[in-house]
């Protein structure tokens, strides 16, 4: 356990010191395989090189040859996504309409990278593409992914949420028609659920993670141990979901080994209500992973008016969101110093006020409309309804429900047999029925 003999240590070494070298090595191997005509192996290693280190040489090579390599990229797309799984992770923010004989597209959000694999192979995709503008909300940083790249290549009008600047640059390099958005999953926290509670601050810090080595929970324990040596009254909390290669018993043993029984409280995953209470009684919430999606807990903390600490080495979180109002962006080597600062400085931040103005679902929806107005001014139907992640997507207000189940939309498209006007009419009829049910008139 600990740094020396845990996967956490290996993860840290790779990320901090070896990933760039490893990326170059994979790129060299990919060029070799491509030269020998082994295109599938070569393309797979090329994408791996970019995902590992955003290798500039590999990105330039991919950009110059992208159209020719698409068939090989497509061969790696996911094929085992069920319709049920895809429909849970798809939501319509507006539905298509026929205006003066022309189709105005609806707007469709597809959540999780894996879900795009379903639509790549969906037989009604061509009709879906004619009726909707897609907004893709990937699940993880690293967009040199076969599912994402193939979907973005196939879709006529598409926006992709990309909180990591390297991912935005990658997609901009590869595709002129796809629009990259600077926001992501963290922008869709239901701010109505995370309201400020008048909790006494009995914790100096809280970390909500899982047992995957990438979450670096042992690094957190080491940091708390160092701070507690100089501040014996320091109090910390670690909430760990069960997913990952370690166990609560292993983590508790490491806490005991560091004599932190009275300093650091460990608990398994808790209910959403209990999580809100635990974060509310903390002076700050931290994220220690080097690679993430758009971590929800950071933004849930902000709406609870709890400042955050994020590492500048992290890949995935939009660093512009960690600012003078919301918390501290620090190097990993200065994490302990940041914890000490937050003991007394936590009152100097105003995370909820900033979050309400910049990253609430309502604000994000308006921002998305502004982008659509700039890029596709006469092409889509508006206004867009507001969706939230809880953690799956849903409409924020029951009165805004456009479609009860996206499976019904797919069924309509399949039955319409490429008849665009028929599909639109049936979708509008479905929308009217849903409106009636939502208002209680049926």
Over its C-alpha atoms, the chain yields an Rg (Å, rounded) of 23
| pLDDT in the model for residue 440 | 47
| pLDDT in the model for residue 117 | 97
Domain match, 350 and 210 both: yes
Phi, psi of 329 (to 5 degrees): -105, 115
pLDDT band at 436 (very low <50, low <70, confident <90, very high): low
Domain match, 324 and 416 both: no
pLDDT band at 70 (very low <50, low <70, confident <90, very high): very high
Evaluate whether residue 196 is within a structural domain.
no
CATH number at residue 221: 3.40.50.2000
| pLDDT in the model for residue 7 | 52
Domain match, 214 and 335 both: yes
Predicted confidence (pLDDT) at residue 435 exceeds the cutoff of 90: no
| pLDDT in the model for residue 437 | 47
- Top pLDDT among 256 and 199 is at 256
| pLDDT in the model for residue 115 | 97
Going from the C-alpha of 144 to that of each of 120, 152, 337, 385, the distances in angstroms are 16, 11, 35, 30
- Structure letter (DSSP) for residue 15: I
Q: How far apart are CA 96 and CA 381, in angstroms?
A: 6
- Mean pLDDT over residues 157-176, rounded? 95
Question: For the chain, what percent of residues have pLDDT higher than 70?
Answer: 95
Predicted confidence (pLDDT) at residue 331 exceeds the cutoff of 60: yes
Pairing of strands 393-395, 387-389: antiparallel
Evaluate whether residue 197 is within a structural domain.
no
Predicted confidence (pLDDT) at residue 439 exceeds the cutoff of 60: no
Report DSSP letters for 199-259, one per residue: ----BSEEEEEEESGGG-HHHHHHHHHHHHHH-TT--EEEEEEEEESS-HHHHHHHHHHTT
Domain match, 214 and 338 both: yes
Domain match, 384 and 405 both: yes
Domain match, 138 and 229 both: no
Are 221 and 255 in contact, with CB atoms under 8 Å apart? yes
Are 358 and 396 in contact, with CB atoms under 8 Å apart? no
Domain match, 325 and 341 both: yes
**Each residue's pLDDT tens digit, 250-287:** 999 999 999 999 999 999 988 989 999 999 999 999 99
Evaluate whether residue 198 is within a structural domain.
no
**Each residue's pLDDT tens digit, 82-128:** 999 999 999 999 999 999 888 999 999 999 999 999 999 999 999 99
pLDDT band at 33 (very low <50, low <70, confident <90, very high): very high
* Number of neighbouring beta carbons within 10 Å of residue 118: 25
- Top pLDDT among 222 and 434 is at 222
Domain match, 290 and 315 both: yes
Are 434 and 404 in contact, with CB atoms under 8 Å apart? yes
The number of domains in the chain is 3
Domain match, 118 and 174 both: yes
**Domain range for residue 34?**
7-74
Q: Which two tokens stand for residue 146?
A: 């076969």
Evaluate whether residue 1 is within a structural domain.
no
| pLDDT in the model for residue 434 | 61
- Minimal CA–CA distance to 307: which of 336, 340, 337, 348? 348
Are 8 and 220 in contact, with CB atoms under 8 Å apart? no
Please say which residue of 356, 376, 397 terminates a domain.
Answer: 356
Going from the C-alpha of 95 to that of each of 375, 382, 395, the distances in angstroms are 18, 9, 14
Mean pLDDT of the chain: 91
| pLDDT in the model for residue 243 | 76
Q: How far apart are CA 433 and CA 420, in angstroms?
A: 20
CB-count burial class (<10 Å; 0-12, 13-18, 19+) for 122 = middle
| pLDDT in the model for residue 372 | 97
Q: How far apart are CA 442 and CA 439, in angstroms?
A: 8
Predicted confidence (pLDDT) at residue 41 exceeds the cutoff of 80: yes
Evaluate whether residue 347 is within a structural domain.
yes
Domain match, 14 and 61 both: yes
Please say which residue of 74, 101, 120 terminates a domain.
Answer: 74
Evaluate whether residue 194 is within a structural domain.
no
Residues in contact with 247: Cβ distance below 8 Å, sequence separation at least 6, in sequence order: 211
- Mean pLDDT over residues 201-226, rounded? 94
Please say which residue of 74, 100, 130 terminates a domain.
Answer: 74
Q: How far apart are CA 223 and CA 194, in angstroms?
A: 28
| pLDDT in the model for residue 100 | 87
Domain match, 215 and 312 both: yes
Evaluate whether residue 247 is within a structural domain.
yes
- Minimal CA–CA distance to 107: which of 37, 43, 61, 158? 158
Domain match, 282 and 372 both: no
- Mean pLDDT over residues 159-186, rounded? 94
Q: Which two tokens stand for residue 121?
A: 């192979």
| pLDDT in the model for residue 293 | 72
| pLDDT in the model for residue 348 | 97
């Amino acid at each position: 356990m600990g740094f020396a003999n845990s996967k956490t240590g290996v993860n840290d070494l790779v990320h901090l010191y070896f990933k760039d070298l490893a990326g170059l090595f994979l790129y060299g191997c990919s060029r070799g395989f491509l030269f020998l005509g082994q295109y599938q192996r070569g393309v797979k290693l090329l994408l791996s090189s970019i995902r590992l280190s955003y290798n500039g040489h590999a990105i330039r090579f991919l950009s110059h040859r992208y159209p020719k390599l698409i068939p090989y990229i497509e061969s790696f797309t996911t094929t085992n996504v069920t319709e049920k799984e895809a429909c849970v992770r798809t939501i319509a923010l507006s539905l298509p309409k026929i205006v003066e004989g022309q189709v105005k597209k609806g707007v469709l959000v597809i959540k999780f990278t894996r879900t795009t694999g379903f639509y790549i192979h969906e037989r009604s995709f061509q009709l879906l593409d004619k009726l909707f503008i897609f907004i893709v909300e990937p699940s993880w940083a690293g967009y040199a992914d076969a599912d994402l790249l193939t979907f973005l290549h196939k879709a006529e009008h598409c926006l992709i949420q990309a909180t990591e600047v390297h991912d935005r640059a990658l997609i901009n390099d590869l595709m002129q028609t796809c629009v990259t958005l600077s926001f992501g999953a963290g922008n869709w926290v239901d701010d109505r659920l995370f309201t400020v509670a008048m909790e006494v601050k009995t914790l100096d810090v809280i970390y909500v993670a899982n047992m995957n080595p990438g979450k670096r929970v042992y690094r957190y324990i080491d940091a708390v141990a160092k701070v507690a040596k100089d501040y014996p009254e320091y109090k910390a909390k670690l909430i760990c979901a069960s997913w990952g290669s370690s166990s609560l018993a292993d983590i508790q043993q490491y806490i005991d080994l560091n004599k932190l029984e009275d300093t650091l409280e460990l608990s398994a995953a808790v209910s959403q209500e209990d999580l809100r209470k635990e974060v509310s009684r903390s002076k700050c919430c931290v994220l220690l992973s080097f690679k993430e999606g758009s971590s929800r807990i950071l933004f849930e903390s902000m709406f609870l008016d709890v400042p955050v600490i994020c590492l500048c080495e992290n890949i995935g979180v939009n660093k512009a969101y960690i600012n003078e109002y919301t918390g501290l962006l620090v190097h990993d080597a200065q994490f302990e110093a940041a914890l000490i600062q937050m003991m007394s400085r936590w009152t100097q931040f105003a995370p909820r006020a900033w979050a309400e103005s910049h990253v609430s679902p309502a604000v994000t929806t308006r921002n998305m409309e502004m982008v659509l107005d700039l890029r596709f001014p006469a092409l889509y139907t508006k206004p867009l309804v507001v969706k939230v992640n809880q953690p799956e997507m849903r409409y924020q207000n029951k009165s805004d429900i456009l479609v009860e189940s996206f499976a019904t939309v797919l069924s309509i498209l399949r039955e319409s047999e490429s008849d665009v006007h028929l599909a639109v009419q049936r979708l509008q009829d479905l929308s009217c029925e849903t409106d009636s049910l939502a208002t209680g008139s049926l």
